[in-house]
Amino acid sequence: MADQDGLKVAKDYHVEEAFANNGGFYVKGAGSLDWGMKKHLANIFDPKSGNTVMFAFDHGYFMGSTAGLERLDLVIPRLMPHIDCLMGTRGALRTCVSPDNRKAIALRVSSGSSMLNEDLSHEVVAVDIEDSIRMNADCMAVQTFIGADGQLSSIDNLSRVINAGLRYSIPTLGVVAVGKDMERTDRFFKLATRIVAEMGVQLVKTYYCDNFEEVVAACPVPIVVAGGKKLPENEALTLAYRSIQGGARGLDMGRNIFQSEHSAEMAQAIRQIVHEAYTDKQAWEFFQDAIH
């Protein structure tokens, strides 16, 4: 481990320069991966825009029944046409999502805490690789708690899943968790996303922050931005727009879609930003037209 005395602050991110090692494949950092990995990533990231609209409905894994997700069997089919990738637990997917859908699957494989726990950072790998294969998962999502009490065990979980994923060509999605007391700064997200990427994940989910383009530049795999708590729709569209402008390759929103009174229209508006280069203003106008 490097001696930290006299450590220089990283600053040369070359944010204007494109990633230099794509090897002819459009997904960042995936140039040297095998066909199976690339196929899964191509299921997630649209080959034309290079981006993805993920819909997160994995909240039940620690929150139980969540406002807006009381009836997964009703909510998911309504939103499905506007989504590229479904992010959920195997319980939700197997029971409430028809297997004849053509969407990519981001399977939540870590678990272990609930809202009743003060510290949520202790998880285990709850889904083994055989079941991820049976579910035809396009990636396996693992929560990673950098700087939290459970950091070591979450890195252990992440490594196990990455190792198994590499054996069977299934990408791993490292989800950067933010605890109640943890800073949401570019300093933290640069640290956390880079650690997770260097552990070997093929894609990262994290939060938007100031200097986001530097977080993206320093992370050698694609970043999808998490939605977080419910915002007014126009603010959520601005978050989506800034994320894509900053170099995110997609959004993985939950509450900002399913807790909207107009969830399908919200998903469509997000889609315009992610795939059609709409600005937040254009997407807001699209949303308003769609609901009236």
Task: Catalog residues that contact ligand R5P under the rule CB under 6 A.
Answer: 56, 58-59, 175, 177, 226-228, 253-256
Tell me how far apart the alpha carbons of residues 118 and 112 are, in angstroms, rounded to a whole number: 13
Q: What letter does residue 196 receive in the DSSP assignment? A: H
* Minimum distance, C-beta of residue 32 to ligand R5P, in the bound complex (Å): 28
Residue 278, token pair as written in the block:
């709409």
Sequence-distant (≥ 6) Cβ neighbours of residue 278 within 8 angstroms: 241, 269, 272, 286
Compute the residue count for the chain. Answer: 292
Nearer to ligand R5P, 246 or 254 (CB): 254
Taking the complex as a whole, how short is the minimal distance between the CB of residue 187 and ligand R5P, in angstroms? 20
User: Which tokens go with 176?
Assistant: 């950067």
CB 31 within 8 A of CB 23: yes
Q: Which is nearer to ligand R5P, 33 or 56 (CB)?
A: 56
> SS3 for 225?
strand
Rounded to the nearest 5°, which phi and psi values hold at 19?
Answer: -55, 135
SS3 29: coil
DSSP, collapsed to helix, strand or coil, labels residue 85 as strand
Q: Assign residue 205 a region: left if phi > 0, alpha if psi is -120 to 50, beta otherwise?
A: beta
What is the Cα–Cα distance from 153 to 122, expressed in whole angstroms?
7
Give the number of other Cβ atoms within 10 Å of residue 20's Cβ.
7
Give 29 or 227: the residue with its C-beta nearer to ligand R5P. 227
Are the C-beta atoms of 253 and 270 separated by less than 8 Å?
A: yes
Cβ 29 to ligand R5P, closest distance in Å? 21
Instruction: Tell me whether residue 120 or residue 283 sits nearer to ligand R5P (CB atom).
Output: 120
Structural tokens at position 276: 């059609």
CB of 175 to ligand R5P, least distance (A): 5
Least Cβ distance, residue 3 to ligand R5P (angstroms): 34
Q: Can 205 be counted among the known catalytic residues?
A: yes
Cβ proximity to ligand R5P, 27 vs 236, nearer residue:
236
Sign of CA dihedral 61, 228, 269, 139: negative
Please pick, among 28, 38, 190, 205, the residue that the annotation labels catalytic: 205
Q: Of the two residues 68 and 246, which places its CB atom closer to ligand R5P in the complex?
A: 68
| CA distance linking residue 84 with residue 109, whole number of Å | 19
Question: In the complex, what is the shortest distance from the CB of residue 75 to ligand R5P, in angstroms, rounded to a whole number?
Answer: 13
Q: How far is CA 189 from the centre of its chain?
A: 14
Residues acting as catalytic residues:
205
